[in-house]
Amino acid sequence: MKITVHGIPTELMGKEVLVGHEAPAARITKLDGTKNVIGMIAPNIQFIVAIPSLKTEVCSLGAKKINDLVKNLKKIDTIIVTTDDIESVKNFLSKESIEGVQFVIDTDRQFAKKFGLLISEGKLKDRLARAVFIVDREGIIAHKEIVSEIVDEVNYDACIEAIENITKANKKGHGHTHENWMTV
């Protein structure tokens, strides 16, 4: 898949994931330095937001908007994934009052590769494309948006609508197959 970075066509590396299919499990790093896994089956709906860097205006504003959007949602795990270093994220959070969102680091770019979001070239090489994935409790991708131009924002209304639809449907019985999530 291709996106544009300031108008320049840029290839994304990694596997393409599709709505209606199982979300891959990807290892990420929490801000305390411990590892965790996101994707796959989970007790809550996962609202996974990928951003290139909190050091940019679009990403930092987007993180604040996401935080405002999810304040009143229940049984939702909102996770913002970035390729920034832990100290940069902690510095950002020390200046902002963001409470309903968990920030994690894609240290090994495993998330980027498994979700097809790794920017392959240019000044953002090895960063994440801007994207959202909403994964239901059964581990199925219910909504996906990869923003076509890196400086554009995601469609926040579509994200909330997808979360509301999952919540209303309360689907069960999708089944679940395991994958070897330790490999890319």
Predicted local confidence at residue 100, as pLDDT = 84
CA distance 100 to 53: 19
* Contact (CB, 8 A) for 54 and 60: yes
Q: Take residue 146 and report the two structure tokens written for it.
A: 């990869």
**Choice among 5-9, 71-75, 115-119 with the minimum mean pLDDT:** 71-75
* CATH code, residues 2-169: 3.40.30.10
- Give the pLDDT band (50/70/90) at residue 10: very high
Determine the average pLDDT of the residues in 133-158: 94
Determine the average pLDDT of the residues in 132-161: 94
- Give the pLDDT band (50/70/90) at residue 117: very high
Determine the average pLDDT of the residues in 146-162: 93
Predicted local confidence at residue 98, as pLDDT = 87
CA distance 24 to 133: 11
CA distance 99 to 142: 25
Angle at alpha carbon of residue 147, lines to 59 and 150, rounded to 5°: 50
CA distance 118 to 111: 9
* Contact (CB, 8 A) for 153 and 159: no
CA distance 46 to 134: 6
Q: Take residue 23 and report the two structure tokens written for it.
A: 């979300």
Determine the average pLDDT of the residues in 119-135: 95
- Give the pLDDT band (50/70/90) at residue 175: very low
- Give the pLDDT band (50/70/90) at residue 60: confident
Per the DSSP assignment, residues forming a β-bridge with 77 are 46
Predicted local confidence at residue 91, as pLDDT = 93
- Give the pLDDT band (50/70/90) at residue 170: low
DSSP for residue 154 = P
Predicted local confidence at residue 138, as pLDDT = 93
CA distance 68 to 64: 6
Tokens 């994200």 belong to: 159
Determine the average pLDDT of the residues in 41-68: 90
